[in-house]
Amino acid sequence: MRVERIQLSHGGGGRLMHQLVRDYFVPSFHLQTLNDSAVVEGMPAGKIALTTDSYVISPYFFPGGDIGLLSVCGTVNDLSMAGARPLYLTTGFILEEGMPIEDLKKILASMKTVADEVGVKIVAGDTKVVEKGKGDGIYINTAGVGIVDEGIDLSPHRIRAGDKIILSGSIGNHGMAVMAERNGISFEPPILSDVRALSSLVRSMLATTGEIRVLRDPTRGGIATTLKEFATDSSKCMIIDEEALQVRPGVQGACDLLGLDPLYVANEGILIAVVAPQAADELVSVMKRTREGSETAVIGEVAEQPKLMVLLRTKIGGTRIIDMITGEQLPRIC
């Protein structure tokens, strides 16, 4: 009998659960064994980077991506921001009773496609099923392992006055794409999420210069929150220029309509780098030649004073203090 939706018995440990794993998860991820743990061999030398993240985005399909793509890219990017080469992922799925099997297949296909593209292997996983009304269709947790090569040390504690602040793309695309979809708002051209893996871009950057102080992908809380974290951790001042920030017209229009500030809207496919001033021009040139970094620009610089502050030099010549957002501007966007 063909089963078209997730049932509670898919999580019961019996025949249906084994059929679900065998028919969909094993072929999607080329799993070799179904033991309690994955055993991997031949880990390269270097420091090991570990990370984990959970994804509860609603809706799970959104313009430009889906929760599966987001879950792989998010964990790959977390490893990459530490300077690591992502190698292995594990995944945990919380499935809601009634979720269409066809939706699950599309999500697994997205995960497989991007994992293959970035060269990371999904080696272990878990599934659970919750009752209808208690899961929003699907939640995913991914954990990742990567290797940090000798000599790479990225930390906000390395930030120095005079350093340049580099941003790899336009801001606010992911958060506003999800928000517009959730509220049934359409724009022409449509707003698409920027969700993508940044591992290839980071490898190019690290191969170009050893003077990158820190990397971070500004997800929840947007670039404002990331820069505030840098200022706090380094005891320096981050000064950025509004003129240098790129906000696509659709995103700006949506923000205006909904009363949001794009500085605080989530991104899933850009990064912020703080680099030594003498390395900035060459690094920007290299990044702009990549697909992921074609919109790269220097957006500001680091100053010694006033400490712990983020300042925005506005287009009209003023200065605005940027602080962390209080509360959640856009819930359930990752």
pLDDT one-digit tens code per residue, 225-244: 999 999 999 999 999 999 99
All residues at 6 or more sequence positions from 170 whose CB lies less than 8 Å from its CB, including other chains: 194, 246, 247, 248, 251, 270, 295
What confidence score (pLDDT) does residue 12 get?
85
Across the chain, what does the average pLDDT equal?
Answer: 94
323 phi and psi angles, rounded to 5 deg: -120, 175
pLDDT one-digit tens code per residue, 21-65: 999 999 999 887 787 888 988 788 889 999 999 999 999 999 999
Closest CA to 120 of 49, 193, 207, 37: 49
Confidence category of residue 1, pLDDT binned at 50, 70, 90: low
Cα 48 → chain centroid? 20
The end-to-end CA distance of the chain, in Å, is 35
What confidence score (pLDDT) does residue 24 get?
92
Closest CA to 191 of 171, 177, 170: 177
pLDDT above 90 for 296: yes
